[in-house]
Structure 1
Amino acid sequence: MKVVSVVGARPQFVKAGIVSRKLRDKGVKEILVHTGQHYDFNMSNVFFRELRIPNPDYYLGIGSGMHGEQTGKMLIEMEKVLVEEKPDIALVYGDTNSTLAGALAASKLHIPVAHVEAGLRSYNRKMPEEINRVLTDHISEILFAPTDVAVENLKKEGITKGVYKVGDVMFDVALEVAGKVNEKKVLNKYGLKPEKFILVTIHRAENTVEETFLQIWKALNKLAKLGIKLFFPVHPRTKKLIEKLELVPESKNLTLTEPVSYFEMVALEKNAKVIITDSGGVQKEGFFFGTPCVIPREETEWIELVDFGFNHLAGVNTEKIFELCEGLFFGGIEIQKNLPKFYGDGSASDKIVSIISGDDFE
């Protein structure tokens, strides 16, 4: 059996790290394609090194661009790879332009598509990620859903065939990496102490425009002036906006840095008191490590975490972000304990590999 796996962005590197390794251990011939969607070293190469992801067989080098332009370039190059390799399955991850391009190219060549993290929905069609995940699910033949909610979302859209609830691959990776990270070394490197800081990640397109980002920026500065340390590894897209607006932290408690590696991110997520993030992956990782997230969005794909009361939607509202973070940081808002196992038992990657390779699963 031959599988072409398509990656291109941070969350995909994380998931592919463990799945690729297990596919190859199983004797499946895997061709790994890196689209080049994330081309900054700390957003790409370092993940391959830390997570022991095999070197890509193809690096497409697409880089940044408008959504249509980027996806179109990927489609052209992915088609060439698939025609050359003639795989039995195209394996795609998540909801990026790389996901959709890989799925579309394979589907048009009548190559079965397998989608890891199928069934997620924000029900906000203004998000490019929502369009990517909906279209990918509807052209996939094998759908690896992480949760019961994801399975139900697919069922609502008439997708029941080829759906497997396997749990979340990111939970598998988080468990594996958490045992390897030198947390003390990471915290010392950045001058941080356990549960004495807020971790910040902002990268989504809708949050990296002037009007919305300034609402978030004001909340960060307000929290910093309250005496709370905030550590903000800045995504390249966000960095461009900060530089364009000539923004400077109003307190030394707000620290902006370059993107961090995955191992460092795990250490920071585990040791932060609160996380402010618009990233779906970070929302889950925070949950894995018992760290609540304040989400500057109107919706989330991981609605079970909000319904349970662990994570909190703040919208892009300065006062709401501030009030939630202040309450969680100082104890005014209770942080939920005894967390349910929403995302499986850490064996999602094994189940995915078993299904792809034709073994029995259940």
Structure 2
Amino acid sequence: MTAPLTVLSVVGTRPNFIKEFVIDRACREAGIRKVLVHTGQHYDYKMSRLFFEELSLPQPDYVCNLIKGTHATETAAMLVFLEDVLKQERPDVTLVYGDVNSTVAGALASAKLGIPVAHVEAGLRCNIRNNPEEINRRIADTLASFNFAHIPSAYASLEKEGFPKDSIFLTGDVHKDAVDSIRSEYNIQTSDNGAVLVTLHRAENTDSHKRLGSIVKALLEAGRPIRFPLHPRTRNALEEGGLLKPLTIASHITLLEPLGYISFLRELASCSLLLSDSGGARREAYLLGKKVVSLIELPWVPEMIESGWEIIAGADPERIRAAVGNFPEPRTRPDIFGDGKAGEKIVSILCERFGRV
């Protein structure tokens, strides 16, 4: 009797958990043996365990007790930890997600041991070579035997860069699978309460007092109701910079605790507009028919800008205010992110390649 395919998934951050939610379901339906490894990159209750509980994800089989440090020290610790796990489990393939440090650690540790790597959300490019996520993406793509692109432009990048045809696949975005599934299961309906939803967590914004101050200035002068769930990093940066109190006393701004995924989708589904520096949240907004103002100068999904659903404002308060005050109405909303069956396609490809159809 043929042994079941063993897939080891490496997760470490909120976007990883959402992708794993989709892949885990598809693997279970296909009878695949799953091993789940948490690198500890975001291992605290509100930002990690809450997502596991809400999404009914199985508890990780392995958790790295990661000591917070620099990119180098954290990635090195993950590599040592993952090497031991991989030697013990010897999976048929390692799945890595997105573009965080956990992604590159999982890909490199596996490749060094001769274990095939599958990269979900491959091919995304901002073409800023010193961008941390760009570095992680390019390394993971290069090491992967299976590169699963989520949007047409990502697939085109892999083609242009000369990746073998039999190693690249346009599957659609597992975020669409997740949004579709959660909306159906929890009956999340879209509406427009007139409020602007804000998410802010990227180091480029939180670690720069100038950028953070400019964004806060724009929020204070927005003239519209604002709902702002605070990422722990963001709250700390606002407090340290003396910027939290003005937001707290502003009558049009409601500060919220960090939200789980389902609660966040409810907020997003009922807002009028999203201001965010999160790649995942911007995609989820598009999927829910919400316009997006990007608070980072990185167009993760060019198709969203081209279709008129996203405006890049960065930390420029005038551009933020202009977009919030007068966002042109998009004419159409193309199906950029596929048909909602990306997870099934990814698992089907792996089963076929490893002879476990």
Please, what TM-score do these two structures have when normalized by structure 1?
0.92
2:277 is matched with 278
Partner of 2:93: 89
Partner of 1:171: 176
One-letter amino acid matched to 1:10: R
Distance 2:145 2:128 in 1: 24
- What secondary structure sits across from 2:324 in the alignment? helix
Describe how 1:206-285 pairs up with structure 2 within 5 A.
206-208=204-206, 209-223=208-222, 226=223, 228-247=224-243, 248=245, 249=247, 251-285=250-284
1:205 aligns to what?
203
Equivalent AA in structure 2 for residue 60 of structure 1:
C
Which residue is equivalent to 2:27? 23
Q: Aligned-pair distance for 1:63?
A: 5.1
CA apart distance, 1:180: 2.9
Between 1:38-47 and 1:166-175, the stretch displaced more is 38-47
Output one character per residue of 1:244-280: Cα deviation in whole Å (capped at 9) or x when no partner: 1122215121122221010011111111100000111
Question: Residue by residue, what CA displacement relative to the aligned partner does 1:205-238 show, whole Å, maximum 9, x if unpaired?
Answer: 1111211111111111111xx2x11111111211
Q: Deviations over 1:113-161 (max 9, x none)?
A: 0000001111123321111111110111100001110111112222133
- In 1, the alpha carbon distance for the partners of 2:129 and 2:320 equals 24
Q: Retained in 2: the 8 A contact 1:38–1:63?
A: no
Structure 2 residue 348 is the aligned partner of structure 1 residue 354: yes
Q: Which shows bigger deviation, 74-83 or 337-346?
A: 337-346
The CA RMSD measured in Å over matched residues stands at 1.7
Higher deviation after alignment, 342-351 or 239-248: 239-248
Once residues 297 and 284 of structure 1 are traced to their aligned partners in structure 2, the CA distance between those partners, rounded to angstroms, is: 14
Deviation at 1:182, TM superposition (A): 5.9
Q: Name the CA distance, whole Å, in 1 between partners of 2:6 and 2:45.
A: 29
CA distance in 2, matches of 1:55, 1:156: 39
Residues 25-46 of structure 1 show CA distances to partners (whole Å, capped at 9, x for unaligned) of 2111110001111122221111
Matches of 2:73 and 2:342, distance apart in 1: 34
Q: What is the CA–CA distance in structure 2 between the aligned matches of 1:32 and 1:205, rounded to whole Å? A: 27
* Cα deviation 1:51-81 (Å, max 9, x = unaligned): 1211110011315321111111111101110
- For residues 61 and 255 of structure 1, the distance between their equivalents in structure 2, rounded to whole angstroms, comes to 34
Q: TM (normalized to structure 2)?
A: 0.93
User: Within 5 A, what are the aligned runs for 1:185-196?
Assistant: 194-196=192-194
- 1:355 maps to a residue whose letter is I
Residue 198 of structure 2 aligns to which amino acid in structure 1?
V
Task: Give the structure 2 partner of residue 128 of structure 1.
Answer: 132
Alpha-carbon distance in structure 1 between the residues aligned to 2:257 and 2:134 = 27
CA contact (8 A) 1:127 1:206 kept: no
The whole-number CA distance in structure 1 between the counterparts of 2:338 and 2:188 is 25
Contact 1:39 1:63 in 2 (8 A): no
The structural deviation recorded for 1:337 is 4.5
Give me the whole-angstrom Cα distance separating, in 2, the residues matched to 1:117 and 1:99: 11
Change (3 A) 1:63 1:350: farther
Distance in 2 of aligned mates of 1:6 and 1:337: 39
Aligned counterparts, 1:252-331, within 5 A:
252-328=251-327
CA distance in 2, matches of 1:204, 1:320: 19
Q: Does the CA-based 8 Å contact 1:6-1:93 persist in structure 2?
A: yes
Unaligned runs of 5+ in 1: 188-192
Of the structure 1 ranges 116-125 and 173-182, higher mean CA displacement relative to structure 2 is found in 173-182
